[in-house]
């Protein structure tokens, strides 16, 4: 798995990845819900759509709009297993490890903080997310009585 600083340098040089920006609705959603809750949503999306060894509709499972996390996934090349392999060095054809899932969430969170600094309390930078991590303490562990498959906060 590649270092996120190195990945973000490469993403900054990709015209395709650089075109992704949060629209007014996504920014408003981020302000209203807060980064911590949006990252809980990210954990749920990653768990369902990206973490399996062979996700259904891989390469097309992440919409281009509809939630700030979806936009962030495309901007950070964490939208499908092919992009994860190419940009992040995550091997395909096996479930994502807990460390790899955290790597994806960290990438999404860094990008969101850089894109909407007033909404997330970050300073924002032109370098799309460089700086110290303020990732909330969230785990992908499931409770034993979790019937809906939702993730639990630590």
- Bridge partners (DSSP) of residue 153 are 138
pLDDT at 118 over 50: yes
128 vs 64, higher pLDDT: 64
Short-list 109, 103, 126, CA closest to 36 = 109
Contact 69, 108 (CB under 8 A): yes
Short-list 47, 19, 42, 14, CA closest to 30 = 42
> How does DSSP assign 66-89, residue by residue?
SSHHHHHHHHTT-SSHHHIIIII-
Torsion-angle region of 138 (φ positive above 0: left; ψ -120 to 50: alpha; else: beta): beta
pLDDT tens for 28-64 read 999 999 999 999 999 999 999 999 999 988 888 899 9
pLDDT at 98 over 50: yes
Neighbouring residues of 32: CB distance < 8 A, sequence distance ≥ 6? none
Greatest extent of the chain over all pairs of C-alpha atoms, in Å? 45
Cα separation, 61 vs 27, in Å, equals 22
Is the pTM of the predicted complex or chain greater than 0.85?
Answer: no
């Amino acid at each position: 798995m590649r270092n996120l600083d190195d990945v973000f340098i490469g993403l900054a040089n990709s015209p395709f990845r650089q075109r992704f920006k949060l629209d007014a609705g996504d920014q408003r959603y981020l302000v209203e819900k807060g980064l911590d809750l949006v990252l809980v949503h990210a954990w749920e999306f990653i768990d369902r759509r990206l973490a399996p060894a062979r996700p259904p509709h891989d390469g097309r499972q992440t919409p281009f709009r509809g939630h700030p996390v979806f936009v962030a996934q495309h901007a950070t090349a964490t939208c499908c297993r092919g992009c994860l392999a190419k940009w992040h060095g995550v091997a395909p054809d096996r479930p994502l490890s807990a460390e790899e899932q955290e790597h994806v969430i960290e990438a999404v969170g860094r990008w969101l903080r850089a894109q909407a600094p007033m909404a997330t309390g970050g300073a924002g930078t032109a370098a799309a997310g460089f700086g110290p991590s303020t990732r909330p303490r969230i785990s992908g562990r499931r409770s034993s009585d979790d019937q809906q498959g939702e993730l639990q906060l630590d």
